């Protein structure tokens, strides 16, 4: 893992003409319909005596315009969450994303489930999609964001309900009269 510096964390920024350049992630801000990322890119500006000087241009972009750099930790990037009163209703908020970790020698590939904003992603998941993803092999909920707390208890409850129903089905008396057809 790369430790981030006070100047921001490296991130790929997708420009309007689809070019992908390396920039810096300075902050994350939750908004009613997801997250915004404050990214900075170095550009040239007019300097003194007609010279060109480097300057950083900062702008807030959606997750579709930022992509994480593999191996970089974003845990130190300032993150501003909405207060509980500002959050939209849970029914409207698809709030999870997947991060695919590549196969390395001695380590199989894996998938991490995150709350939107933990790592940049261009696709969000509904609660049902997130729960289904967690049931897949080598998939885990991120322990650094709310994904572990927001979905793992519900997944356990869903699995417990399914197990209880299976036990009820197993314990129910079976009709052994072969002359009757099942409904």
Distance (Å, whole) CA 180 – CA 159: 34
Helix/strand/coil for 116: coil
> Measuring CA to CA, which residue among 32, 156, 138, 50 is closest to residue 88?
32
Higher pLDDT, 62 or 87: 62
Q: How sure is the predictor about 1, in pLDDT bands with cuts at 50, 70 and 90? A: very low
Average pLDDT over residues 142-171: 59
* CA–CA gap between residue 99 and residue 116 (Å, rounded): 11
pLDDT in tens, 67-81: 999 999 998 999 988
**pLDDT of 4 over the 60 cut:** no
**CA 113 – CA 174 distance, rounded (Å):** 41
Asked if residue 26 has pLDDT above 90, the reply is yes
- CA 38-78-119 angle, 5° bins: 70
Q: How far apart are CA 153 and CA 88, in angstroms?
A: 21
Note whether 71 and 51 are within 8 A (CB): no
152 three-state secondary structure? helix
Other C-beta atoms closer than 10 Å to the C-beta of 51 total 9
Q: Is 39 exposed, middle or buried (0-12, 13-18, 19+ CB in 10 A)?
A: buried
- Confirm whether pTM is higher than 0.75: no
Sequence-distant (≥ 6) Cβ neighbours of residue 167 within 8 angstroms:
none
In contact, 116 and 124? CB cutoff 8 Å: yes
pLDDT in tens, 85-137: 655 555 545 578 888 888 778 778 888 888 887 777 767 888 888 888 888 88
């Amino acid at each position: 893992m790369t430790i981030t510096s006070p100047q921001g964390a490296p991130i790929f920024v997708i420009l309007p003409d689809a070019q992908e350049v390396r920039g810096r992630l300075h902050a994350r801000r939750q908004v009613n319909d997801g997250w915004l990322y404050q990214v900075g890119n170095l550009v040239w500006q007019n300097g003194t005596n007609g010279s060109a000087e480097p300057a950083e241009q900062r702008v807030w972009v959606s997750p579709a315009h930022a992509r994480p750099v593999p191996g970089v930790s974003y845990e130190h990037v300032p993150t501003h969450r909405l207060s509980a009163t500002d959050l939209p209703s849970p029914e409207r908020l698809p709030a999870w994303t997947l991060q695919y970790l590549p196969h390395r020698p001695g380590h199989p590939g894996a998938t991490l489930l995150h709350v939107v904003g933990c790592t940049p992603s261009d696709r969000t998941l509904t609660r049902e999609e997130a729960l289904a993803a967690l049931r897949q092999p080598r998939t885990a909920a991120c322990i650094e964001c709310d994904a572990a707390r927001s979905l793992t208890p519900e997944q356990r409850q869903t699995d417990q309900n399914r197990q209880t129903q299976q036990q009820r089905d197993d314990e129910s008396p079976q009709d052994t009269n072969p002359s009757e057809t099942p409904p």
